């Protein structure tokens, strides 16, 4: 995910610290509304969430809480996800028009 241009991940991104994070990742893609990212992924049967996830104070503090900004995209990857599903997620994001 970090290798896709224009993706900004919110949270720990240092591989040396991955043991301090959970497999849920929130991100934004520059120039693309989070709702559009979620819709595009849904078209590929990859289901994520967009918005503030009841963390209104956090998204306000980050300066991304408004209808025009849309908050974040949140994706969860767990032991039951396949490598193919992860590849689909990354492929859709990499190919998304900006």
Per the CB < 8 A criterion, the answer to whether 49 and 73 are in contact is yes
How far apart are the C-alpha atoms of 85 and 46, rounded to whole Å? 7
Direct distance between the N- and C-terminal alpha carbons of the chain, in angstroms, rounded to an integer: 16
pLDDT at res. 89: 98
pLDDT digits (tens, 9 = 90+) for 4-56: 999 999 999 999 998 998 889 999 999 999 999 999 999 999 999 999 999 99
CA distance 31 to 54: 24
User: What's the confidence (pLDDT) of residue 98?
Assistant: 82
Q: Which domains does the chain have, with CATH numbers?
A: 7-95 (3.90.1150.10)
What does the pLDDT read at residue 27? 98
d(CA 58, CA 39): 23
Q: In sequence order, what are the beta bridge partners of 50?
A: 73
């Amino acid at each position: 995910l970090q290798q896709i241009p224009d993706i900004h991940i919110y949270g720990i991104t240092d591989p040396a610290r991955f043991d301090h994070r959970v497999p849920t990742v929130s991100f934004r893609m520059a120039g693309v509304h989070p709702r559009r990212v979620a819709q595009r992924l849904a078209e590929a049967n990859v289901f994520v969430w967009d918005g503030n996830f009841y963390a209104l104070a956090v998204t306000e503090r980050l300066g991304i809480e408004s209808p025009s900004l849309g908050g974040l995209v949140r994706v969860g990857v767990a032991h039951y996800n396949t490598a193919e599903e992860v590849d689909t997620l990354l492929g859709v994001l990499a190919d998304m028009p900006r």
